[in-house]
A and B are shown apart, each in its own frame.
With several copies, the nearest count.
Chain A
Amino acid sequence: MHTEKQIERSAIRKHLHDGMSIMFGGFLGSGSPKGIIQEILDAGIKDLTIIGNDTAMPDTGIGVLVSAKRVKKVITSHIGTNAETGRQMIAGEIEVELVPQGTLAERIRCGGSGLGGVLTPTGVGTLVEEGKTKLSFDGVDYLVERALRADLAILKAHIADEKGNLVYRRAARNFNPLMALAADFVAVEADSIVAPGEIDPDLVMTPGILVDALILSGEC
């Protein structure tokens, strides 16, 4: 059944353009929307800023966009599993902003929640504090870490209903629910799409109002 939110995978292309910023769900590829990533690759857009936990491996998850040299900048916590990201960084072909994982989660959450940032102790006394405002309360130093948003978020859900309500499965949840809040356009690849009411309202992990487009996963 098609609804206003459900689109063919190729219809995502009208929301793609060179130079855009893209948040991607996933942790080493688990919880990343493979079909949408393939569509972005096929669309040929470039100079992307990508934001997510890691760059997976050269041939998995978001890694394929790095390997195809479509990425200008990565904001991430870890690139150690993708030697190609490291190679491009050292060669000066790609800019990498490394952010502690918990800080990355909070920055994205802030971007989606109307918050300007958070005060975290993580990174105090390390390279991470460079250039940042520091505040001290009750003898503890905190860094002011600022909100992060993107033009597009691409997410992977296990079950969606036609209104866009999402349920994630196991460890594939990770950054997906946070990014659903923090992008101007939110596209979700789901293993199945059911009628509204089929997901118990207590079990919805991302409310449908945050989702702009639903794409049925080819796999399942």
Chain B
Amino acid sequence: MDAKKLIASRVAQELKDGDVVNLGIGLPTLIPDYLPTDVHITLQSENGFLGMGPLEGEPLPDLVNAGGKACGMVPGTAFFDSAMSFAIIRGGHVDATVLGGLQVDQEGNLANWMVPGKMIPGMGGAMDLVTGAKQVIVAMEHATKDGGAKILKRCELPLTAAGKVTAIATELAFFRFIDGQLVLTETAPGVSLDEIRAKTAADYVVSPDCHAMKLS
């Protein structure tokens, strides 16, 4: 299983039947493929609807996701304007948001919207999502392409939101914030505690229940 699929598969286990979920672009969009058949989630799209589904057949007029791509919708979909979309997001009506990260730290801070002087795409809806969603799950590769740590003592890049991350899923490990502390709860198949320690700059504790990920 490649890194992205492994991460998507693990994050899927965090979602419960009936959850309202906003998935960031890229890796998070793979997650629905890994949901058990008895878990039905409602996808929120920040451009203004609840009930997003995969594209089936020809694109329909004005039916696009937050990445501007044609998509589908399920029976019982509801469209609304951007103020309502973010009332839902900021107001705690989204059970989980899953999004990528450039850096995450042991305080639950996330940085994923700019690299000063290099890449400044803007925060889009990410700051509201990370501030308002009940669960904030960062789904990302464990280290940078150069092998540098992305899970840090303290983010160096500008923050998306302070202290809001609830879990981190990588191809090596699954961490959860428990009572404000970063806790390693699962290791990926074949990955040792030492390898995770070596590739993680943050201070964290290893859960007494720490075990290997169960992947479907």
16 A-B pairs (CB sep. < 8 Å): A27-B68, A54-B124, A77-B123, A77-B125, A80-B122, A101-B123, A102-B132, A122-B127, A124-B161, A125-B163, A126-B161, A127-B158, A170-B64, A173-B79, A201-B49, A206-B78
State how many angstroms separate the Cβ of A41 from the closest Cβ of chain B.
21
- Are A105 and B159 in touch, CB under 8 angstroms? no
Distance between Cα atoms of A169 and B73 in the complex (Å): 14
Bound complex: CA of A78 vs CA of B127, how far in Å?
Answer: 12
B-contacting 9-mer, from A6-14, A43-51, A111-119: A111-119
Residues on B with beta carbons closer than 8 Å to the beta carbon of A77: 122-125
Distance A172 CA – B45 CA, assembled complex (angstroms): 12
B132 touches A122 (CB 8 A): yes
Do A171 and B90 touch across chains, with their CB atoms under 8 A apart? Answer: no
> Of A96, A170, A181, which is within 8 A of B79 by CB?
A170
A114-B123 contact given A105-B86, A165-B78, CB 8 Å threshold: no
Q: State the 6 A-B residue pairs at the shortest beta-carbon distance, nearest first.
A: A80-B121, A102-B86, A125-B162, A196-B76, A197-B75, A114-B90
Which residues does chain A contribute within 8 Å of B161, judged by CB atoms? Answer: 122, 124-126
- Known A125-B162, A126-B161: A98·B123 in contact at CB below 8 Å: yes
CA distance A22 to B127 in the complex (A): 25
B20 touches A28 (CB 8 A): no
Report yes or no: A173 in contact with B86, Cβ–Cβ below 8 A: no
CB distance from B214 to the nearest CB of A (A): 28
Instruction: Give min CB distance, B202 to chain A, whole Å.
Output: 18
A126 with B120: CB separation less than 8 A = no
Kindly identify, within residues 94 to 143 of chain B, every residue whose CB is under 8 Å from any CB belonging to chain A: 109, 120-128, 131-132
With A109-B87, A114-B91 already in contact, the answer to whether A169 and B120 are too (CB < 8 A) is no
Q: Which residue of B lies closest to A158 (CB)?
A: B62
Q: Which residue of A86, A126, A163, A171 contacts B48 across the interface (Cβ within 8 Å)? A: A171
Q: Which residues of B contact A205 (CB under 8 A)?
A: 81
**B185 within 8 Å of A (CB atoms):** no
B residues near A125, Cβ cutoff 8 Å: 109, 159, 161-163
Query: A169, B86: Cβ atoms under 8 Å?
Result: no
> What residues on A are CB-neighbors of B74 within 8 Å?
196
Q: Tell whether A126 pairs with B160 under 8 Å between CB atoms, given A29-B68, A79-B121.
A: yes
The interface residues of chain A lying within 8 Å CB-to-CB of B66 are 27
- In Å, the complex CA distance between A178 and B46 comes to 15
As a 0/1 sequence over residues 41 to 81 of chain B, the CB contacts with chain A under 8 angstroms (1 = contact) are 01001111111000000001111111110000111111111
Q: Using CB atoms, name the residue of chain A closest to B86.
A: A102
Give bound CA distance, A181 to B89, whole Å: 11
Q: How large is the interface on A (under 10, 10 to 19, 20 to 34, 35 or more residues)?
A: 35 or more
Chain A, residue nearest B162 (CB): A125
CA distance A178 to B87 in the complex (A): 10
Contacts A106-B83, A173-B79 known; 18 new A-B pairs at CB < 8 A: A27-B47, A27-B48, A30-B68, A78-B123, A100-B123, A101-B86, A101-B123, A102-B85, A102-B89, A102-B125, A122-B131, A123-B131, A126-B160, A162-B76, A176-B81, A178-B81, A201-B73, A209-B93
Q: Which residues of A contact B68 (CB under 8 A)?
A: 27-30, 81
Contact with B along A144-170 (1 / 0, CB 8 A): 000000000000001001110100011
Task: Tell whether A204 is near chain B: CB-to-CB under 8 Å.
Answer: yes
| Chain B neighbourhood of A21, CB < 8 A | none
Cβ contact of B120, chosen from A53, A89, A112, A197, cutoff 8 A: A89
A67 neighbours in B (Cβ, 8 Å): none
Asked if residues B50 and A100 are in contact (CB atoms below 8 Å), the reply is no
Instruction: Give chain A interface residues in 160-196, CB to chain B under 8 Å.
Output: 161-163, 165, 169-178, 181, 195-196
Cα–Cα, bound, A178→B161 (Å):
26
Asked if residues B122 and A30 are in contact (CB atoms below 8 Å), the reply is no
Which of B65, B78, B82, B159 is within 8 Å of A126, CB to CB? B159
Nearest-Cβ distance from residue A50 to partner chain B, whole angstroms: 14
Residues of B within 8 A of A27 (CB): 47-48, 64, 66, 68, 82
